[in-house]
Amino acid sequence: MIPAVIYARYSTDMQSASSVEDQIRLCAERAAREGMAVSQHYADHGISGASLMRPGIQQLLQDAMAGKFQVVFAEALDRISRDQEDVAAVFKRLNFAGVQIITLSEGAISELHIGLKGTMNALFLKDLSDKTRRGLRGRVEAGKSGGGNSYGYDVVRKVNAAGEPERGDRKINEDQADIIRRVFNEYAAGTSPRVIAKTLNAEHVPGPTGKTWGPSTIHGNKDRGTGILNNELYIGRLVWNRLRYIKAPETGKRLSRLNPADQWIVQDVPHLRIIDDDLWQKVKARQDATSLGKHDKSKAAGFWDRRRPRFLLSGLIKCGCCGSTFVKISQHHFGCASARNKGTCENKRTIRRDVLESSVLNALQHRLMDDKLLAVFCEEYTRHLNALRMAESGNRAKDEARLQKVIRELDRMIDAICDGVPAERVKDRMIALEAERAEIEKRLEAEPKEEKPLLHPSMGERYRQGVMRLREALADQDAPHEAVEILRGLIDRIVLHPSSEEESGFVMDIEGDLAGILSLCQTSKKAAGLSPDDLMQMKLVAGVGFEPTTFRL
């Protein structure tokens, strides 16, 4: 029997977890009628179809490339994705892997479905977005919330005379309102957001998210209206459409953009006022003075007023006690951000930047690629790569066999026409076979026939030489940026654990990207013959990357 799998998804617009089970049941019935054996189910619960950043669909694509099945069943094409570009990408990858998509709504999916349904789904998302915004605007102009809630308020739940829920009403939470007034008064009196946050955390006051307070939670961004000190709802002004959100095409993450002021919708809601005008103006005056001090070139700017340069390991260093990022706390030292800004971590130790960078570079160059462990990896990788090649060869063999069968059937039809069979009787079948023939031939031409080279036996030494060249490049002031980016690409994160044996020392774990290491081992693209897809497959084989390298500082 042909191996098949099922993909199901329900999104937040459906609000029904049972939808996944319903989709799987219907698809399983269809697969049984087709005489196919369903080996696995893939599902994404409560995730929008506007992005491919979903664990279920990503695992399906990975297993498809490994040759684990030949058919994917789904309720409809929009269950796989509503984005036209993403639908085309999934179809292309599955088609390359020799996997067919069959949906209950459209049947066997072809290029025609991808173009037509993809466009329809994209238009559906756009129309849904426009209708949602129209509804939210009407609610805001009526003085109600346009979605979400702010710290200091509770959601009011009630129903109208028809028994339908009325949404958008809020009321003041007096306990949280007292905290807001306290934050405003302390800031106006000269207390920094960092000290305010540490004090609130020491008193175990829950933050707006129910977790700890941070300085950015308080000061936010004045232009964007974020942060406790910038929320105009606290003075009875409801501002909507200040920001718009778009999704990054590569990551699917939502990014905010500031709208022009003439597009903002502002309504007075005096019953939601928490802060009086005098206190609000004092806070704004201090914010303006602080901002002016940072940008006044005539004044001697201190360390915290300067634009900090990007260091070699910035953003990669994590605290082994709480998991927070290590940040620059002075000109030469890194320290735990939570310990310094929130007071929620006991790890008060610091480390010099030059000591940390030198230690990491030495570890990468001399302690990472152990010859014995490297030999084990090369053996395992070669075995896995050969398995993938066998799967690819199997798919190619199926295509070649099918191509010969199509050619023989076309020849028989031509012979039948020559023997007197009316051409109209076989015309449609011949057109379909010719189209299938062209598709198979195109697929065979696109598949590489030559075998890719295996890992070079001296990969460990090449890696060490590559790191040495990068260290030399870092010392070159003319072109350090490229070297920094390459070296940072080898490291996922660096975890610093306080050493129990030394009062000021650390135990450091380095976790990295195996694909980056393998690419660094290449002497040239031509010699290595490894494409970006190959490197990605290597990373999938190794999971998150190489195992942590641990040593003491």
pLDDT recorded at residue 183: 94
Determine, yes or no, domain membership for 422: no
- Shared-domain flag, residues 24 and 57: yes
Determine, yes or no, domain membership for 103: yes
For residue 246, list its beta bridge partners.
255
pLDDT recorded at residue 525: 40
pLDDT recorded at residue 14: 44
- Shared-domain flag, residues 381 and 254: no
**Residue 273 belongs to domain spanning:** 220-290
- For residue 175, the tally of other CB atoms under 10 A from its CB is 9
- Shared-domain flag, residues 493 and 553: yes
Q: How far apart are CA 78 and CA 23, in angstroms?
A: 13
| Domain end (from 92, 126, 160) | 126
- For residue 407, the tally of other CB atoms under 10 A from its CB is 13
- Shared-domain flag, residues 285 and 349: no
Residue given tokens 């490994």 in the structure block: 66
Determine, yes or no, domain membership for 476: yes
Exposure letters 245-281 (e unless 16+ CB within 10 A, then b): eeeeeeeeeeeeeeeeeeeeeeeebeebbbbeeebbe
pLDDT recorded at residue 355: 87
Determine, yes or no, domain membership for 329: yes
3-state secondary structure 38-72: EEEEEEEECCCCCCCCCHHHHHHHHHHHCCCCCEE
Domain count, the chain: 3
DSSP letter (8 states) at residue 270: G
| Domain end (from 126, 148, 172) | 126
DSSP assignment of 417-463: HHTT--HHHHHHHHHHHHHHHHHHHHHHHHS--SPPP---TTHHHHH
- Shared-domain flag, residues 371 and 493: yes
Residue type, 434: E
- Shared-domain flag, residues 389 and 527: yes
In the structure encoding, which two tokens stand for residue 340, read together?
């310094």
- Shared-domain flag, residues 266 and 373: no
Helix axes 84-96, 423-446, angle to 10 degrees: 90
- Shared-domain flag, residues 284 and 316: no
- Shared-domain flag, residues 283 and 331: no
**Residues 6+ away with beta carbon under 8 Å from 76:** 103, 104, 105, 106
pLDDT recorded at residue 253: 67
| pLDDT tens series, the chain, 553 aa | 789 999 998 875 444 556 788 888 899 999 999 889 898 999 887 776 566 778 888 889 989 988 999 999 999 888 888 777 788 888 888 988 899 999 998 888 887 777 666 566 666 666 666 666 666 666 666 667 666 678 998 888 877 777 777 777 888 999 999 999 999 999 998 888 988 999 999 999 999 988 899 898 999 888 888 899 998 889 988 887 777 767 665 555 667 787 888 877 788 888 889 999 999 999 998 888 876 555 554 444 444 444 444 577 888 889 989 988 898 888 888 999 888 888 888 888 888 888 888 888 777 766 665 666 666 666 666 666 666 666 666 677 777 888 888 888 888 888 878 877 777 777 778 888 888 888 888 877 775 554 444 555 565 666 666 667 666 666 665 555 556 666 676 777 888 888 877 666 888 887 765 555 655 555 434 333 444 444 333 333 333 344 444 545 4
| Domain end (from 290, 317, 339) | 290
pLDDT recorded at residue 218: 92
**Residues 6+ away with beta carbon under 8 Å from 216:** 193, 227
Determine, yes or no, domain membership for 196: no
- Shared-domain flag, residues 462 and 319: yes
In the structure encoding, which two tokens stand for residue 546, read together?
């190489």
Q: Say which CATH number the domain at 87 has.
A: 3.40.50.1390
- Shared-domain flag, residues 14 and 67: yes
Q: Give 139-145's long-range contacts (Cβ < 8 A, gap of 24+).
A: 139/167, 139/168, 140/238, 140/240, 140/265, 140/267, 141/265, 141/267, 142/168, 143/238, 143/267, 143/268, 143/269, 144/168, 144/169, 144/170, 145/169, 145/170, 145/238
Determine, yes or no, domain membership for 419: no
- For residue 72, the tally of other CB atoms under 10 A from its CB is 23
Q: How far apart are CA 303 and CA 301, in angstroms?
A: 7
- For residue 53, the tally of other CB atoms under 10 A from its CB is 17
In the structure encoding, which two tokens stand for residue 304, read together?
């915290």
- Shared-domain flag, residues 47 and 19: yes
Report yes or no on whether pTM surpasses 0.75.
no
∠ CA(544), CA(512), CA(324), 5° rounding?
90
Q: What is the dihedral sign for C-alpha 70, 74, 77, 80?
A: negative
Determine, yes or no, domain membership for 146: no
